[in-house]
Every structure is written in C-alpha cells, then in structure tokens.
Structure 1
C-alpha cells in the first residue's frame, strides 16, 4: 500500500476531497477546526419558517374550501409548489457549504449525524421541517456532548412527526379517559428507534417492556404547528416508568425534566458508547472496522463522557485512517460534492441555480444514483456498505452525470491530465494514470476520472 501524506488523506477520507481552489488541511488541528465552522448557517432554516409556511397554507386551504374558485386554486398551487421546492433549495445550500469548506470534516459530521437521527417529511407542508431539524438539532450540537445532541434531536418536532409520536397518548391519561370514543393509543415508534438506533443498539440488553415504559414516559411530549414545543400533562401516562432498572416520572416530578434525565442516562450508557463508536468507525474508516479502531473510539467516548470533540480527535488521529484507504464508497451526495470541488466549480453559482437546471444537474441525478435528497427509505438512514452504492445502475448514473455536468459549467473543459492531479493528488492508481492520457476527448477523460474507483472510493 502506498504511503499517503496526511493532508491528502484527510481531505479524501474525512472531508469531500481535493480542490484546486484551496489547500487540503495541514494537520489534525486544521481538520478539527472545521467542526465549529459547521455549527451554524448564515441564514438557518428554523421552526419559525415551518410555522410561517403552515399558517400560509392554512389560510389558502380554508379560502379554497370556502370558495373553490380559479384564483384560490392558483394560490393554493403556488404555495404547494413553493413548499415542494424547499428540499431542492436545501440540497443546493448543503452542496455549496460542503464544497466551500477547506477541510470538510464538519460538514461530513453534519451529514453523519443527520443520517443517524433520520427524519423524513410526510407531506409537502412538512418538507421544511427536515432542514430545520438539521439546522436546529444537529449543527448547534456538533461540538458539545452526545447527550445534548440526543435531547435536541429526540424532542424536535421533525422527529415527533416522522415517528408519529405527536398523537401518542397514555392509555390511562386524563385525555384518553375523557375521550373513550376516540380510542386514543400509545405509539412506541419513537421509543423503539431511540433505543435500537439512536442509543443502545439492536443487540443491547433491553426488553419490550423497557420500550413500552419508555413510550409511556414520553407520552406527554408534543408540539403544536402554530406554537412552540409543549409538554401536555393531560396526555401523559400517570405514574412512574421503569427503564433499564431506573425509575422516571411519577407524582410530583417535572414531565419534560424526567424525559431529559432519561435521555441523559441513555446517552451515557456503555452500550451507547459501543454502538455509536462502531457506527462512526464504519462510516469513516471501513465497512468492517477492526476491533482495535472501535475500541479506541469507545475508550475516548467513555473517558470523556460522550464529549464529541474528544471522540472526533481519536478518529482523526487513528492509524486505520490510512490502513483502510479506499475501503469506503462515496455516497451520491459525497460523490457530487467531491466532483464540484475537484472541478473547481463556483459553489455560490451552484447554490443559486434555478429550478429547472438544478433538477436536471443535481436533484434528479442524485435520485438516479439511489439517494433522493431528504428521502431515506427508513428510520435507519442510508446504507453504508460499498456494495449498496457501487451497483451497475448506480455506477451508470454516475458515469452519465460525469459525462454531462462538466460541460455545462466549464468552457473550455479542463485538461484531464491536470484534473487527475487536482482530484486525486498523489493517490492516483497506475492504471488510471495510464488510461486518462489516452482518452479520445476532454469530456471522456474527465468522465473516466470521475467514474473511476479511485474517485468513487475514499
């Protein structure tokens, strides 16, 4: 295996690849410095944006119900189309942020944690909630403790809606007893995903009883579309609940306070350290990381009580970063950002694209590659294994995009021999180095680079 200098290694493995417009991170400190840069957006999407959209939609919908006229139908359609574009606008914004960041590690972590705490919109009205979730629950907590991120993600309206928790009602609650005809019930989705996916892991030592009592503990938690998140005591299941041998809630306790205490305990559980350490290693190092790499991250997690910067440093400095070079496949979003960086495209031009070209050049190609933006298949997020991404269909979509995209942005096209160095530095394989100069045209040479195993693996 070739020896790789840290700057190139870090740019390719921990960020979004090399760029002719900025040098790669010089050392671990430069990589880690990208994390606080990723913690905020200049114009974040927030719950206020969702409430504004919701209220506008309600006004138009009621007007249409009262008078189904052509002007009202047209107004409703404009609102609907505007909301439908929100995920596309978010995609372009995220591509630009990832492409412009010198190290890229912070933006990679945004992507990792947003996928770990997967949410998905159920309809066009709630599209903006997914963006608000990332900007409110994930970004601000990148450099804190895992417990803080867990509490922010679990209690965010996007999570409550996605996992159908907002209607969860304690079977013996005041609310349920007053409305027996409505057959209100307990929903265990959030509780199950909280322990199986977000904290302890599927194989941890908990029972179905733990899941149910956890669901009962959280019944009072909800939100109103036109207001702030609330705790609704009348919906909460009365009495104390037991989770992993500990008691939460009951007479005289604070409902949301007990939920947060429970989340703190789950965040600090040894099984959470083990589950999340392995997940970080799988995402950044290898589909099958060594026990040693996982153990190093787990030790950092436990010794720091889940302090995320400490865990990130252990990852950035681990020798397996080099030993497992190119064992991970770039997911479609990563691949597109890496290509934008390697080609030296203007990120702001990309971000400001109009609807038709952005759909043609980015939104639809990503879908054909298998990763429709903000639309993961299930609550466990996107697949990690290379075989799930480097499939015949997915690779064909990448080749088509690599042939078409550069010519729409660059005139003249760059010399592929120069692009080879810009995109891969000293990590170019002998086979690709020999093949690129023999390409019949600039377009084919560029596509050969962007579709290569060298470029599609990190």
Structure 2
C-alpha cells in the first residue's frame, strides 16, 4: 500500500514500466542526479523563443506587403503555435515515463505558485520555456534561488508589467511615469510572506521602489536599468535596502531575506501540505515543515523530507482531486502509451490534449491569475469538469492500441487502492474499452 501511495500521491502515478517507489527515500531520490527527462524531452529555451517572437513581430508588420510576406508571417505564427502544443506533449511525456515523477509534480506546483499566463508580447507561447528555465532546475535546492529565478525572469516581469515601473525621482522618472506595484505586491502576498504575513502597504510601496531597476531588454532578457531606480534607501519588513547608488544586488538581498522569513516558512509549508496531503493539512505537519525551513535556511529538499516523514503523508484515504493535467499524465503513464505521442502531428496534440484540458478547466499555461490554480477538490470536481473528463477518457481509450485487459489494468493503474466497485466494474465490463474507461473514470483514479 505504501509504495502505491508514494507513486500516486507524490509521483505521477503507477506505471507498467517502473516499480513504484518503496517510500520517502525513493521519492526524494527522484530529485538526485541529472534531470534526464528534461534532456530527453527537451523544451525550447527562452532565448530561442524570444528570437522567434522577434521574427514574429517583424513578419506581422510586413505581412500586408505581399503574398510572400503574408506566407512568411503564417509560417512563424505556426511555429510559435506548434511550440506551445509541443511543450504540453513534452511535459506529459516526461511525467508519463519518469521513474517516479516527484520532480514533475514539484515543477507543476511551483509553476502554479509563481504563476505566469500565456499572452501577447514576450509571453506569446513562451511560458513553457520560463517554467523549464527558471522553475524546474530549482525545485529541490534553496527556495531563495527559486524565488530569485522566478521573480526576476522576464516572463514574470512581463506578466506583472514591471517594465512600466519607473521611480518618479529617478533620471528617467523626471520625464514622466510612475511606480508599478504589481510585482512587489505579488512577491509579498503570494510568493513569500502570504496575505497574513505581517506586511502593510508601506512595505509594498518600498519594495516596489526597490524593484524599479528591473526591466526587459530588446532581446527579451532581464536587465537592470539604473536610470529607472528610485533613489534612496527603502525599508521592507523593518530592514533598509539600497541607497544613493542603484545596485541590482539590493534586489537579491531583499529576496534572500524574504525567502527565510518565518511567515514565508509557514505560508509555503502549508501550501505544500495542502497541495500534496489535504485541503486542510495537519497543523503539526505544517509546523514541522516550517521548523525545517527555518533550520535549513529554506532548503526545499529537507522541507519535502519532513512532509514525507509525517504519518498523514501515508494515510490511505485519497483526499485530493487530480487536476486535469495530472489525470491525463497518469492515464498515459498507466497505459504505457506516452511513446505514441512522438508520432502524432501537432494537430492531434491540439485536438486531443490541449483543447480537452481547457474544457476540463485547466487550459495549458493559462492559469486564471497570479495566484495560480485552485487546490480545493470542489474547484475541479464539477458537473462540467467531470463531463469533460469522461469525454476525454472515452476518446483516449479509443486511441489505445492495444486496449489492455481491464482485469489486469485495474491493478496496473491502482493496485491495492482500487475499491470493490472499481474492481467489479473491471470484471463485469462488456468489453475491454468499457472496462478501461470505467477504471480511468472511477473516483479511485480521479483522486490521489
């Protein structure tokens, strides 16, 4: 039972190709060594995406100059669109073929925590590259490094309009403009301290003034704009930063301090426990995780280990609903069918993966806001969401070749977590497709 829980609750599901992890040590071992899945199923890096977006801008301006220019615009537009769908395919292939999938689950969690949505400009079909460059490499190290990588990434700066932030008393500010508080507010409210973390509007204003130097250059890279920086020191949570000389290191320093603040430790320990364990996690688990955070200076691997060491981590009751992305990955994994995705055109990925995720309520790379995806089961187990899941499962089972025997598949997909009703459905189904569909649609499979 424990190994099955390990695979389903903390990984990307049971697999016919990989033995489930034996326990906490095996789960944590998934974070050690090189990230072979990312190398095998690569996602285009941010710099290459920015070059394509620049090309897109040029072609869009020229597209009315003739048929050849219009066709060139369509080609680069299609390249961006295909890359968006390919990012989903690669993400699912990673999750479906990984030995455990704990790294994938953490990457999804932190991508939701540092949420950025697909959009226009620098965010046109590029958010997958942000996740792959800033989030995934930092999920098991110091939170300070993850925080800095995410907050100062050009995707985050574009999403929260940081490039428009100008210190009113800076050399550039004397010609107009003002401070934009979006990034500072989300850093304090969402990314670190939490809404009850003890900060006030003065802290938001002072931090936003400290961040005025952050911007994006013409190549889509983060840059420090000394002429935009509001002069003088700024006080955030009782500590002064900066001075008369603009310095990018002041930003690194304030993020470092926020990363180990007690409120940050409590806020993010609880958020992790909510995501992996229960919508209302045990208070003593959260306290233990926060204590580890404080003791280690925000070493994430140690915080995860404390969570896995708590008895509630191994409670057999499945309290969490699988989000649509998690469910699709688990279905591909349980059926051993992810390898077939490499042979499919992007139209197949769009019609059978990207569009269904949107109908299920989790559009790919488009969280509803800076606070990411909701965690409570009620947000996902809705009549509309369930209908979309059932539609996808029906189509997915029809795509399988061969369709597994449901009497064996029930153990492949769920092991001892398969309840008597699910086992009865697997045995009594009139054909293989119906049986496999009933297993994938069962409450046992839809929860973790």
Q: Is the TM-score greater than 0.5?
A: yes
Structure 1, unaligned runs of 5 or more? none
Between stretches 265-274 and 122-131, larger displacement belongs to 122-131
- Per the alignment, residue 50 of structure 1 pairs with 49
Runs of 4+ in structure 1 off by over 6 angstroms are none
Given candidates 388, 395, 398, the residue that maps to 2:389 is: 398
Q: How far apart, CA to CA, are the structure 2 residues paired with 1:10 and 1:436?
A: 24
Kindly indicate whether the alpha-carbon contact (under 8 Å) linking 2:265 and 2:298 is maintained by their aligned counterparts in 1.
Answer: yes
- Deviation at residue 84 of structure 1 after TM alignment: 2.1
Residues 1:148 and 1:308: Cα distance change in structure 2 (over 3 Å)? same
Tell whether 2:239 aligns with 1:242: no
Deviation digits for residues 116-166 of structure 1, max 9, x if unmatched?
100112227633431221121112212210001001111000000001101
Aligned residue pairs total 445
Q: How far apart, CA to CA, are the structure 2 residues paired with 1:50 and 1:190?
A: 23
Given candidates 441, 446, 449, the residue that maps to 2:439 is: 449
Kindly indicate whether the alpha-carbon contact (under 8 Å) linking 2:81 and 2:125 is maintained by their aligned counterparts in 1.
Answer: no
Tell whether 2:328 aligns with 1:329: no
- Per the alignment, residue 430 of structure 2 pairs with 440
- Deviation at residue 319 of structure 1 after TM alignment: 1.1
Q: How far apart, CA to CA, are the structure 2 residues paired with 1:371 and 1:318?
A: 30
SS for the counterpart of 1:226 is coil
Q: How far apart, CA to CA, are the structure 2 residues paired with 1:324 and 1:175?
A: 59
Given candidates 420, 433, 448, the residue that maps to 1:430 is: 420
Q: How far apart, CA to CA, are the structure 2 residues paired with 1:340 and 1:23?
A: 16
Deviation digits for residues 82-133 of structure 1, max 9, x if unmatched?
2122221101000000011111111100111111100112227633431221
Q: How far apart, CA to CA, are the structure 2 residues paired with 1:227 and 1:331?
A: 32
- Per the alignment, residue 29 of structure 1 pairs with 25
- Per the alignment, residue 144 of structure 1 pairs with 141
Alignment of 1:95-114 (within 5 A): 95-114=92-111
Q: How far apart, CA to CA, are the structure 2 residues paired with 1:290 and 1:319?
A: 10
Tell whether 2:265 aligns with 1:270: no
- Per the alignment, residue 77 of structure 2 pairs with 80
Between stretches 434-443 and 278-287, larger displacement belongs to 434-443
Q: How far apart, CA to CA, are the structure 2 residues paired with 1:38 and 1:281?
A: 26
- Per the alignment, residue 309 of structure 2 pairs with 317
Deviation digits for residues 360-409 of structure 1, max 9, x if unmatched?
22111111111000001100001100111111111111111111212213
Tell whether 2:128 aligns with 1:131: yes
Tell whether 2:275 aligns with 1:279: no
SS for the counterpart of 1:247 is strand
Q: How far apart, CA to CA, are the structure 1 residues paired with 2:435 and 2:377?
A: 24
Q: How far apart, CA to CA, are the structure 2 residues paired with 1:144 and 1:359?
A: 34
Q: How far apart, CA to CA, are the structure 2 residues paired with 1:102 and 1:382?
A: 26
- Per the alignment, residue 350 of structure 1 pairs with 341
Kindly indicate whether the alpha-carbon contact (under 8 Å) linking 1:300 and 1:310 is maintained by their aligned counterparts in 2.
Answer: yes
Deviation digits for residues 19-41 of structure 1, max 9, x if unmatched?
11111112322211212457472
Residues 1:276 and 1:261: Cα distance change in structure 2 (over 3 Å)? same
Kindly indicate whether the alpha-carbon contact (under 8 Å) linking 1:50 and 1:126 is maintained by their aligned counterparts in 2.
Answer: no
Between stretches 329-338 and 73-82, larger displacement belongs to 73-82
Q: How far apart, CA to CA, are the structure 1 residues paired with 2:105 and 2:320?
A: 14
Q: How far apart, CA to CA, are the structure 2 residues paired with 1:248 and 1:282?
A: 34
Q: How far apart, CA to CA, are the structure 1 residues paired with 2:394 and 2:346?
A: 21
Kindly indicate whether the alpha-carbon contact (under 8 Å) linking 1:343 and 1:406 is maintained by their aligned counterparts in 2.
Answer: no
Given candidates 7, 16, 27, the residue that maps to 1:11 is: 7
Residues 1:151 and 1:39: Cα distance change in structure 2 (over 3 Å)? farther
- Deviation at residue 44 of structure 1 after TM alignment: 4.3
